[in-house]
Homo-oligomer: A and B are copies of this chain.
Amino acid sequence: MISRTLAAELPDRVGRPVSVAGWVHRRRALKSMSFLVLRDRTGLAQVVLPAAADLPPEETVVRVDGLATANPQAPGGVEVTDAVVTALSEHATAPPFDLYRPTLGATLPVVLDNAAVALRHPRLRARFAVTSASTAGFRSALDGAGFTEVHTPKVVGSATESGANVFGLDYFGRRAFLAQSPQLFKQALVGVFERVYEVGPVFRAEPHDTTRHLAQYTSLDAELGFIADHRDVMAVLRDTVAGMLAAVADRAADALDLLGVELPEVPMEIPVIHFAEAQELLARHTGEDPRGEPDLAPAHERWLSDWASRTHGSDFLYVTGYPMAKRPFYTHPDPGRPEYSNSFDLLFRGVELVTGGQRLHRYSDYLTALSARGEDPEPYRGYLDAFAHGMPPHGGFAIGLERWAARLLGLRNVRETTLFPRDLNRLHP
């Protein structure tokens, strides 16, 4: 038996015997001959068969032995002739939609209910070539900058970010929670490795059914020590985003092509605007006056993104200095204006994509911050220890992988860039 040829390799095999294998993407019986279009992980291959051939139904898995033959009419300029078809699976049940159409004509709930089959559609599959490449780029950018990859607990004894939106579970008879982020672990690990990253699931018991929220998503987390302030973190994030886009361009070129997506440029210096200045701009230009608000509304994020695009030619914009009031307890204040924080959001094409900033690093600051919020330091003991035993100034950021990919691909709903989403209503498949 000769070894398998992938669809994308067929043009290099013209005139030679080949063995291709994959799913029956489409079958067509004409008067004078029949066709099978075979789908594998690299693309489609056309197979020519006699008119009377017995054609297995769509999605059946087959091996086809035959001859790679040039034909300018065939996709890729080559087809398989003199073909012998062997089924590798039983005859497949028809999916509830036609996978061979250029776009999948099904509503999102039908797609998600039938994810295992719907994801086979080349346009859906292509999205995950982009997420996969993005993750690889995230890692290689940080590997190159001296970071260490870590794996932290997803089951914790106390809620990490706040008591809200946390899943509880029974842990050998004790009360435990699913981690909402690796925040406190990655900070403690700055004390060990100085620079760490983690790619892993985080869990939010998000009681709202929106296009932006999931009960589980993939968080790309990074944290680094020995910084001057949040601007050092922003510089690392800039290079990380550039690395992610370079990896997508390099490893998912076919997917981008199929989806008709053009990647953004990351400026060497992403434009920066302070929160207070952003509010001034909005007051001056939008007819609204958001001054005094502790956060930006989604419409304001969109306006600022447009503004960055118009005035700086950038798809990216850093907003810095969010008021301390709306930031978590570990946030470092701006020493010059302590009502503002050394934090930032990275806006990308109208939405907040990344949140990050400098963290507190002095033990006594943690005790003060927790006490100011009326929180008991006791549940945080294991993490606060790291600070009592000496921690450098540090900061970090987290990128939501599904949201990043949705935005990059121009998709509205994060469920469209999640293989098997989990949300308020969805626990299957």
| A residues adjacent to B (C-beta < 8 A) | 4, 21, 23-24, 40-41, 59-61, 88-90, 92-93, 95, 114-117, 119-120, 125, 128-129, 131-132, 135-136, 139, 143, 146, 148-157, 167-172, 174, 176, 178, 185, 188-189, 191-195, 199-201, 203, 205, 207, 215-216, 218, 226, 361-364, 381-383, 385-386, 388-393, 401, 419-420, 422, 424-425, 427-429
A326 to chain B, nearest CB (A): 26
Q: Do residues B89 and A391 form an inter-chain contact, with CB atoms below 8 A?
A: yes
Q: How far is the CA of A115 from the CA of B150 in the complex (A)?
A: 14
Q: How far is the CA of A116 from the CA of B186 in the complex (A)?
A: 10
Across-interface contacts of A151 in B (CB, < 8 A): 131, 201, 218, 401, 419
Q: Do residues A389 and B59 form an inter-chain contact, with CB atoms below 8 A?
A: yes
Q: Do residues B364 and A155 form an inter-chain contact, with CB atoms below 8 A?
A: no
Q: With A125-B193, A143-B136, A392-B89 as given contacts, are A171 and B383 in contact (CB-CB < 8 Å)?
A: no
Instruction: Give the contacting residue for A93; candidates B125, B153, B388; CB below 8 A.
Output: B388
Q: How far is the CA of A131 from the CA of B196 in the complex (A)?
A: 13
Q: Do residues B120 and A363 form an inter-chain contact, with CB atoms below 8 A?
A: no
Q: List 27 A-B contacts (CB under 8 A).
A: A4-B226, A40-B194, A41-B194, A41-B195, A61-B392, A88-B393, A89-B392, A90-B362, A93-B363, A116-B189, A116-B385, A117-B389, A119-B189, A119-B191, A125-B192, A128-B148, A136-B139, A136-B143, A139-B139, A154-B154, A154-B201, A154-B216, A167-B171, A171-B427, A174-B427, A382-B429, A385-B429
Across-interface contacts of A61 in B (CB, < 8 A): 390-392
Given contact pairs A89-B390, A151-B401, a sample of 13 additional A-B residue pairs in the complex whose CB atoms are under 8 Å apart? A4-B226, A21-B226, A21-B392, A41-B193, A61-B391, A95-B389, A117-B191, A135-B149, A150-B419, A151-B201, A172-B425, A185-B420, A383-B429
Closest to A114 in B: B385
Closest to A420 in B: B153
Across-interface contacts of A226 in B (CB, < 8 A): 4, 21, 88
Closest to A60 in B: B390
Q: Do residues B364 and A90 form an inter-chain contact, with CB atoms below 8 A?
A: yes
